[in-house]
Structures are given as structure tokens and as C-alpha cells.
């Protein structure tokens, strides 16, 4: 879903212990398919009152978690009362255009789901900084990124871990690359030492040849 309004970081609780990690979680689905399959993770929230944050990741089944968001919420809310926050995670398509997204799902008074964007969000949006801080502190394991990935660097600068294209990486290596990746280079002193050693070996060989001629004579 494109063009969603950014969520508020105030609606995202700090996370505590991971309670559930089920990569083949079955949920009630709409349409002909009676059940869908997604990756469910549930954390206890590190708040004064008991609460839970659930993340359902789309795994590419016949039905999508978006189409079944209302039923997913109802099923999880019955189990994880009294306070539940639900996030919907869509990995980037493997063979199609699109980007990875993380959305907050809220249920209206009429029972219909509404979505707002947690990540990524436009840098110029006033809510962007707060959401990036939450992602750096708690959201990075949800989308499989290191915490350092969520910073305020310009969008034109490649994020750590993404690395850009193979061509850009090759250009980086050709330019010397990061300090740890550069090959050691010989200094002028090292080259001079090598030449002196070669000269000494040559002198020894010549002296041996001359000595052998004297003996023969």
C-alpha cells in the first residue's frame, strides 16, 4: 500500500521478551481460502501495564495478510488482551518491483482495519525522526536490519548493509575501498631494502665465479 500516512511513534511501545516466533502461523482468511499462512512474532511490551506487540509477515501465500487484517486482529486480540498492537510486515518482492514496508494496523469502531506507515517514511515528515528512533531501538529485528541502519543520513547515501550495486562496490575497491579492505602498499624504504638485498646476492655470485677461475688457473 503506497502513500500511507506515517504512524505516530507514541503508538509503538518498547519491546520486551519475544514470546512467539511461528514462521508457519495459520490465520482465518477471506475468500475461497479458509486459512492463510504468515510468519507471526509476538513480543511482550516493556510497559507498566501488560501489553503485546504482534507482527505478521507476508510469506507469499494464496491470500494476503492485508486482505485478512480484520480477522487476524480479532483472533490475536482474543488471545492477547487487554492491550495489543498489530504490525503488518511486507518484505520486498523477490521478482517484482516494490519495497519492504512495515505498517501499523488499527481497527475502527465499525471493525474495519486502517493502516499507517511505520517504515519507511519520508524524511521531511515531522514524524520521521521519532519512527526512525523506534526502529533503531526495537524495530530493527522485525525487518532484519542492524540498529545502525536507521539513522538520519541522506536518502542518496547507501545505507549500511545495502552496499549499492556490484558496479559501485567495484568502483569503491578500485578507489582503495575502506581502510580495512585496502591492500598493503610497499613504501620507498621497503623497495630500497629489496634492491640492496638483490645487489648483495649478485655480488656474492660474482665473487664465487671469480674465485673458481683463480683456482682453475
C-alpha atoms less than 13 angstroms from C-alpha of 44 in its C-beta half-sphere = 8
Q: Is the pLDDT of residue 163 over 60?
A: no
Lowest pLDDT segment from 8-12, 61-65, 67-71, 124-128: 61-65
Among 28-37, 89-98, 105-114, 177-186, the minimum mean pLDDT is found in 177-186
Place of cell 507514541: 10
What is the spatial distance between Cα 107 and Cα 84, in angstroms, rounded to a whole number? Answer: 11
> For all residues of the chain together, what is the average pLDDT?
77
SS3 26: strand
- Percentage with pLDDT > 70 across the chain: 66
Question: What is the per-residue pLDDT for 197?
Answer: 57
User: What mean pLDDT do residues 111-130 have?
Assistant: 96
**SS3 state at 103:** strand
Can you give the pLDDT at residue 95?
A: 76
Q: What is the pLDDT of residue 11?
A: 97
pLDDT of residue 162: 38
Contact 122, 154 (CB under 8 A): no
Helix (H, G, I), strand (E, B) or coil at 16: strand
pLDDT tops 60 at residue 170: no
Are 87 and 105 in contact by the 8 Å Cβ rule? The answer is: yes
Alpha-carbon distances of 113 from 21, 168, 174, rounded to whole Å: 24, 42, 51
Q: Examine the pLDDT at 158 and tell me if it is beyond 60.
A: no
Mean pLDDT across 154-182: 33
Mean pLDDT of 132-146: 91
What is the pLDDT averaged over residues 84-96?
A: 91
Amino acid at each position: 500500500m503506497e502513500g500511507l500516512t506515517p504512524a505516530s511513534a507514541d503508538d509503538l511501545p518498547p519491546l520486551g521478551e519475544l514470546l512467539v516466533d511461528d514462521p508457519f502461523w495459520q490465520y482465518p482468511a477471506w475468500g475461497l481460502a479458509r486459512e492463510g499462512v504468515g510468519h507471526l512474532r509476538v513480543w511482550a511490551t516493556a510497559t507498566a501495564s501488560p501489553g503485546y506487540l504482534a507482527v505478521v509477515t507476508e510469506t507469499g501465500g494464496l491470500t494476503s495478510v492485508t486482505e485478512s487484517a480484520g480477522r487476524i486482529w480479532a483472533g490475536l486480540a482474543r488471545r492477547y488482551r487487554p492491550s495489543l498492537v498489530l504490525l503488518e510486515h511486507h518484505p520486498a518482492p523477490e521478482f517484482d518491483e516494490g519495497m519492504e514496508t512495515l505498517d501499523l494496523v488499527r481497527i475502527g469502531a465499525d471493525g474495519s482495519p486502517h493502516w499507517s506507515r511505520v517504515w519507511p517514511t519520508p524524511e521531511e515528515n515531522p514524524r520521521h525522526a521519532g519512527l526512525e528512533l523506534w526502529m533503531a531501538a526495537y524495530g530493527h529485528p522485525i525487518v532484519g536490519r542492524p540498529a545502525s541502519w536507521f539513522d538520519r543520513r541522506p536518502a542518496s547515501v547507501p545505507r549500511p548493509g545495502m552496499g549499492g550495486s556490484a558496479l559501485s562496490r567495484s568502483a569503491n575497491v578500485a578507489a582503495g575501498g575502506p581502510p580495512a579492505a585496502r591492500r598493503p602498499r610497499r613504501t620507498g624504504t621497503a623497495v630500497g631494502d629489496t634492491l640492496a638485498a638483490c645487489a648483495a646476492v649478485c655480488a656474492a655470485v660474482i665473487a664465487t665465479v671469480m674465485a673458481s677461475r683463480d683456482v682453475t688457473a
